[in-house]
């Protein structure tokens, strides 16, 4: 790292406009990823100012820097371990008092601070006037006013960053009152190498700090810790409140006191506009219908608007495949790999893209306007009863479109248990790909009058299973308290186009890089498994030689079918027959399911190949005929049930791994759901065989 690189971190409350400040500073030079080993999202970027290159990290939005939530821990760890040169503390100018709670913890650590009063236009409009000079003096910082959404004040901010980087770092001790200050002194006197901040953390029983100290000093730290326990015990029995809570309250008292010092004129406290809008949007009667309306709109936009680019991409991929097919010299095994493996595989990944991008744009709009918080507010009671969190609703809803963005969307859930539980059951929300399977099978076995009902039933079963599974998870592996639902309902805001675009761009890049590479790798693997080994002679050719007359297209289809049977995938399908028989599946379905791991839609094309249906355009129609002839309605139902519950596609597994932070969870989800599917279908099939006739009038 050259001397000239400044390391800067942005800290602040959620909803303070941190993101737009980050966007204004870094523009398109930003990246999204994960903090190592955890599920918390990391955003970083850079910019140049006055010849100095400045690296910026946007820390998770937090109200505090204790370690009670993962976001807070990540933010604090970064500040303490990475030692950024400057911290940009973004403040919602309409919420200065509360924001100062976090600020007080920053100055206690002793950082070089730029205090950014963001959304200052709004606060001014409400009549607030602050003494900026006094803020700078009290906090030993530079104070800047900005309107992040309009890019105002950004240049001053950049100047301030550079100016502050020359400041002396200074831990500012807050006045906690005599008792607590005395307690801190007792600790620091006992061990000179332990500073005020560390002493306070020890008294607060801060797990992270104590662990670090124990690692560093080993046993010699024990007497200190014992002393701390003694002091704390004494104070707690005196006050009836735990020490760390006393500290927290004093700290807020400091924030409140500081606010009183720096405010010249208070704002007229009217949140009229947002509250009036909410009178309608979270109305007891209208709230839910309006919410469902918005959700429908999101879906409509995503899948209708997405249709054109998706078809466009599909056509492009098809054309490209055809082009390579024709112009690449034949009989090289690589050709098939490129056409069927790579191009189809990549095509499969990219066809997801328009859907994901539009969906994320919609989510970004919902979040940035502030409506997302209202959605959680409306849905929390229902979600909480199931064992989830209000914020779980939207990711689950998105799961009806596609599990990949749905799992990515769970990042808004703060507590690990809520987040994991939600991620685990998202595949049970029948995604769009499964819909293609249902639309193949349902018309094959059910008369028109029943089709819609059966489809609806499948979706309902999925939802019920999800609820049961969450209940199960929350009472076994993911047991424990939910995160408190204390959540801010921020004022409604106009999102910026720039913000939305950057968000869309980042999501797509992330998806392509993460899901894309794995999907491609697995697609190629699948291609291999379904193509090799190749038979040296074909039965159909022998039949032609002895007089059978069929068209070349049909012969080609027959050859393809034989190839599949002969291949590894086909053999596995055969081998699985004894296991699959109790649930009514034959080797053909099993083989198709193996292929479906790449993408659910592949199930259909694999099935087509197995039944020797060529690429004649009449595929679906004739496939349905074959299915009807080969299987019972019961099996049709079982196949749909299995597809509903089991085998998230490789994209889902890959994203699950990325977002949950552990490969183990993705594996558990995969295996767990597959087993669940097997058990459920087993029961349905065996019971179904006894119910010979389903009374039609009832349906």
CB of 273 to another protein, least distance (A): 12
Nearer to another protein, 72 or 562 (CB): 72
Binders of another protein in range 8-67 (CB under 8 A): 63-64, 66
Q: What mask, x for binding another protein by CB under 8 A, covers residues 97 to 136? A: xx--x-----------------------------------
Shortest reach from residue 6's CB to another protein, in Å: 30
Minimum distance from CB of 316 to another protein (Å)? 45
Residue among 217, 252, 566, 678 that touches another protein (CB under 8 A): 252
**Cα dihedral value 32, 36, 39, 45, nearest 10:** -20
Match 């994991």 to its residue by tokens: 420
Rounded CA separation 674/680 (Å):
10
Q: Which residues pair with 116 in a beta bridge?
A: 90, 144
If you write DSSP's letter for every residue of 159-227 in order, what string do you get?
Answer: HHHHHHTTSPP-PPPP---HHHHHHHHHHHHH-TTS-HHHHHHHHTT-HHHHHHHHHHHGGGGHHHHHH
- Scored b (16 or more CB within 10 A) or e, 208-237 reads ebbeebeeeeeeebeebeebbeebbeebee
* Residue 486 makes contact with another protein by CB under 8 A: yes
Of the candidate spans 4-12, 283-291, 420-428, 618-626, the one that interacts with another protein by CB under 8 A turns out to be 283-291
Q: Which of 219, 269, 272, 552 binds another protein (CB under 8 A)?
A: 269
Residue 208 touching another protein (CB under 8 A) = no
277 makes contact with another protein (CB under 8 A): no
Q: Which helix (H) or strand (E) is 144 found in, with range?
A: strand 141-145
If you compute the radius of gyration of the chain from its CA atoms, what whole number of angstroms results?
30
Instruction: Give the residue among 106, 108, 125 at the shortest CA–CA distance from 116.
Output: 106
Kindly report the number of other CB atoms within 10 A of residue 269's CB atom: 9
Q: Which is nearer to another protein, 145 or 380 (CB)?
A: 380
Beta bridge partners of 285: none
Of 94, 198, 430, 660, the one binding another protein (CB under 8 A) is: 94
CB atoms under 10 Å from CB of 411, counted, come to: 17
Nearer to another protein, 274 or 412 (CB): 274
Interaction of residue 287 with another protein, rule CB under 8 A: yes
CB of 393 to another protein, least distance (A): 12
Distance CA 656, CA 403 (A): 9
- Please say which residue, 383 or 502, places its beta carbon nearer to another protein: 383
Q: Which of 485, 528, 532, 678 binds another protein (CB under 8 A)?
A: 485
For another protein, the closer of residues 241 and 261 by Cβ is: 241
Measuring CA to CA, which residue among 57, 56, 60 is closest to residue 14? Answer: 60
Query: From CA 585, how far away is CA 601, in angstroms rounded?
Result: 18
List binders of another protein among 592-651 (CB under 8 A): none
Binders of another protein among residues 354 to 413 (CB under 8 A) are 373, 376-382, 384, 390
* Residue choice 166, 215, 284, 629 for contact with another protein (CB under 8 A): 284
Q: Which stretch binds another protein (CB under 8 A): 93-101, 143-151, 343-351, 496-504?
A: 93-101
What residues form DSSP beta bridges with 142?
114
Give the CA angle between residues 445, 446, 451 to the nearest 5°: 135
Angular region, 218: left φ>0, alpha ψ -120 to 50, beta rest: left
Residue number, 126 or 543, with CB nearest to another protein? 126
Burial of 543 (0-12, 13-18, 19+ CB in 10 A): middle
CA 89, CA 654: separation in Å to the nearest integer?
A: 35
Q: Near another protein by CB under 8 A, which window of 91-99, 172-180, 320-328, 524-532?
A: 91-99
Indicate the helix (H) or strand (E) that contains 456: helix 448-475
Binding mask of the shown chain, residues 447 to 476, with x at each position contacting another protein by CB under 8 A: ------------------------------
- Contact with another protein (CB under 8 A): which of 80, 132, 248, 556? 248
Q: Which one of 28, 220, 226, 283 is in contact with another protein (CB under 8 A)?
A: 283
Q: Which is nearer to another protein, 378 or 518 (CB)?
A: 378
Contacting positions for another protein (CB under 8 A): 63-64, 66, 68, 94-98, 101, 241-242, 244-245, 248-249, 252, 269, 271, 274-275, 278-279, 282-285, 287-288, 373, 376-382, 384, 390, 484-490
């Amino acid at each position: 790292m050259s001397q000239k690189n400044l390391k800067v971190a942005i800290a602040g409350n959620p909803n303070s406009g941190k993101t737009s400040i980050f966007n204004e500073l870094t523009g398109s030079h930003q990246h999204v990823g994960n903090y190592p080993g955890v599920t918390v999202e990391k955003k970083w970027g850079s910019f140049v100012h006055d010849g100095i290159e400045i690296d910026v990290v946007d820390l998770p939005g937090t109200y505090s820097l204790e370690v009670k939530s993962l976001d807070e821990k990540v933010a604090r760890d970064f500040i303490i371990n990475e030692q950024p040169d400057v911290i940009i503390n973004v403040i919602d100018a309409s919420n200065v008092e509360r924001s100062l709670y976090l600020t007080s913890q920053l100055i206690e650590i002793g950082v070089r601070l730029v205090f950014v009063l963001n959304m200052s236009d709004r606060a001014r409009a409400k009549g607030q006037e602050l003494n900026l000079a006094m803020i700078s003096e009290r906090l030993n910082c530079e104070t800047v006013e900005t309107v992040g959404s309009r890019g105002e004040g950004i240049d001053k901010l950049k100047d301030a960053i550079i100016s502050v980087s020359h400041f002396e770092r200074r831990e500012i001790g807050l006045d906690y009152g005599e008792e607590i200050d005395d307690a801190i002194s007792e600790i620091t006197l006992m061990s000179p190498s332990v500073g005020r901040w560390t002493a306070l953390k020890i008294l607060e029983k801060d797990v992270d700090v104590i662990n670090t100290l124990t690692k560093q000093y080993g046993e010699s730290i024990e007497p200190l810790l014992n002393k701390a326990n003694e002091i704390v015990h004494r104070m707690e029995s005196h006050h009836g409140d735990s020490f760390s809570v006393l500290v927290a309250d004093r700290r807020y008292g400091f924030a409140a006191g500081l606010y009183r010092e720096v405010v010249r004129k208070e704002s007229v406290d009217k949140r009229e506009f947002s509250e009036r809008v909410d009178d309608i949007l979270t109305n007891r009667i209208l709230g839910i219908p309006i919410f469902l309306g918005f959700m429908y709109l999101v879906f409509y936009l995503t899948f209708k608007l997405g249709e054109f680019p998706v078809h466009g991409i599909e056509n492009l991929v098809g054309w490209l495949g055809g082009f390579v097919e024709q112009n690449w010299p034949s009989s090289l095994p690589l050709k098939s790999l490129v056409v069927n493996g790579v191009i189809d595989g990549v095509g499969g990944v990219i066809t997801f893209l328009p859907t994901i991008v539009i969906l994320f744009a919609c989510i970004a709009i919902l979040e940035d306007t502030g409506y997302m918080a209202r959605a959680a507010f409306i849905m929390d009671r229902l979600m909480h009863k199931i064992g989830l969190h209000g914020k779980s609703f939207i990711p689950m809803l998105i799961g009806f479109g596609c599990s990949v963005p749905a799992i990515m969307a769970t990042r808004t859930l703060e507590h690990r248990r809520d987040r994991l539980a939600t991620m685990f059951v998202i595949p049970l929300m029948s995604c769009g790909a499964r819909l293609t399977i249902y639309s193949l099978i349902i018309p094959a076995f059910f008369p028109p009058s029943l089709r819609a009902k059966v489809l609806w039933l499948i979706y309902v079963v999925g939802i019920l299973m999800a609820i049961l599974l969450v209940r199960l998870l929350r009472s076994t592996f993911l047991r424990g308290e939910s995160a408190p639902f204390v959540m801010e309902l921020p004022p409604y805001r106009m999102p910026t186009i720039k913000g939305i675009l950057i968000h869309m761009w980042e999501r797509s890049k992330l998806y392509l890089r993460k899901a894309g590479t794995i999907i491609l790798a697995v697609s190629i693997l699948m291609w291999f498994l379904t193509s090799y080994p190749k038979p040296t002679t074909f039965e159909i050719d022998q039949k032609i030689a002895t007089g059978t007359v069929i068209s070349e297209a049909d012969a080609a289809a027959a050859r393809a079918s034989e190839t599949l049977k002969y291949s590894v995938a086909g053999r596995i399908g055969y081998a699985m027959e004894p296991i699959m028989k109790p649930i009514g599946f034959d080797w053909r379905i099993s083989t198709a399911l193996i292929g479906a791991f790449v993408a659910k839609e592949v199930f259909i094309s694999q099935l087509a190949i197995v039944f020797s249906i060529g690429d004649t355009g009449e595929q679906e129609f004739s496939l349905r005929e074959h299915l009807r002839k080969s299987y019972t309605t019961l099996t049709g139902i079982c196949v749909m049930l299995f597809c509903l519950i089991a085998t998230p596609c490789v994209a889902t597994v890959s994203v699950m791994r990325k977002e949950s932070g552990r490969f183990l969870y993705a594996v558990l989800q995969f295996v767990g759901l597959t087993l669940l599917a097997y058990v459920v279908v087993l029961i349905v099939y065996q019971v179904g065989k006894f119910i010979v006739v389903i009374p039609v009038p009832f349906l």
